[in-house]
Amino acid sequence: MPHPSPLKSALPLVVVLTLVWGTTWVLFPYAVREVSVWTFRAVSITFAGLSLLALAALRGLPLSIPRTSWPTLVGAALVYLVIWNIASTFAAVLIPSGQAAILGFTMPLWATLIAWAFWGERPSLRLGLAVALGGVGVGLLMARGANAYAHAPLGFALGLLAALGWALGTLLLKRRPIEAPPLVHTGWQLLVAAVPITAAALYFGDRMAFMPSWPSIAVIAYIALMPMALGNVVWFSIVRVLPVNVAALSSVMVPVVAMIVGAIVHQEPLGLIQLVAMGCCAAGLLLALTKPGHPVKTAA
């Protein structure tokens, strides 16, 4: 019986990732109404990491990481999970959540450029066109947020910083895969990231111990278990089976969902330009996932 192609096996993961991550951005302002960004991320990342390792243990998976994989795991956790979680949350607080998501999901462009510039992985014509379509879509969405960026330039900068950290962490994991099940190494990456974030929370975060309201606790718990725990396991699974450029493009529909949800929940703008941008993102993703090109090594 033939094994399914990597694309076919990854497609359900892409759908899950798009829905789980795309519907979360509107929740960030609610998660930090009563606690600081640092406290929110420290609690949610620690809870997510412990939950994944507990689930792995219940499933009988070994929780150990090979010694040779620890440098990659720690490096990826720091440049992806720490930078992404802090920068993206502050961005979502400073500018509209949909616009923060758009900036964060410029990641495919950064990943393609970094892989080309530093490792000579020139994308094929088909994949280059897919990246360009995704870039046009994201660019159109960004153009609509110019006023928000002008009023909160720090939010704009943090959104791009989040994307850059995500791209670097993804490339690191792709070039040096961690020899452990995604459930296990995702749990450990989250706990590694929790160390500096918790240390920062103790210094910058809430100085007085108090119990947030149950709605805040529910939002934080949902973010910890769904986008942070489940979403990252799905993402690392996608990275494992797809070429890095295609894996990066698999996330391009997330800001589309975030824009739709932002329009429903926060009445953020959703007009013709947004619809055209969504079409470009969808076309880019379809082009990448139907018949991806393989990176071409350029001469050193």
pLDDT at 198 over 70: yes
Determine which helix (DSSP H) or strand (DSSP E) holds 99, and give its type and residue range: helix 97-104
Q: Where are the domains of the chain?
A: 6-297
Categorise residue 60: left if φ over 0, alpha if ψ from -120 to 50, beta otherwise.
left
Amino acid at 136: V
153-194 pLDDT per residue, tens: 888 889 889 989 999 998 898 888 898 999 999 999 999 999
Rounded to the nearest 5°, which phi and psi values hold at 164?
-65, -45
CA distance 273 to 280: 11
Q: What is the pLDDT at residue 291?
A: 58
CA distance 221 to 227: 10
Q: What is the pLDDT at residue 300?
A: 40
Q: What is the pLDDT at residue 26?
A: 82
Q: What is the pLDDT at residue 49?
A: 96
54-92 pLDDT per residue, tens: 999 999 999 999 999 999 999 999 999 999 988 988 887
CA distance 286 to 278: 12
213 neighbors 263 (Cβ within 8 angstroms): no
- Cβ neighbours of 247 (radius 10 Å): 26
DSSP state string for 8-68: HHHHHHHHHHHHHHHTTGGGHHHHTSSS-HHHHHHHHHHHHHHHHHHHHHHTT------GG
- Catalogue the E-assigned strands of 134-263: none
Angle between helix axes 153-175 and 83-94 (nearest 10 degrees) is 160
292 neighbors 126 (Cβ within 8 angstroms): yes
CA distance 64 to 61: 9
Angle between helix axes 6-22 and 272-290 (nearest 10 degrees) is 150
200-216 pLDDT per residue, tens: 988 887 665 667 888 88
Residue with more model confidence, 283 or 55: 55
Q: What is the pLDDT at residue 144?
A: 67
Rounded to the nearest 5°, which phi and psi values hold at 121?
-90, 80
Q: What is the pLDDT at residue 134?
A: 79
Q: What is the pLDDT at residue 298?
A: 45
What share of the chain in percent tops pLDDT 70? 88
User: If you average pLDDT over residues 209-231, what whole number do you get?
Assistant: 89
1-36 pLDDT per residue, tens: 445 566 667 788 888 998 898 888 788 888 888 888
pLDDT band of residue 228 (cuts 50, 70, 90) is very high
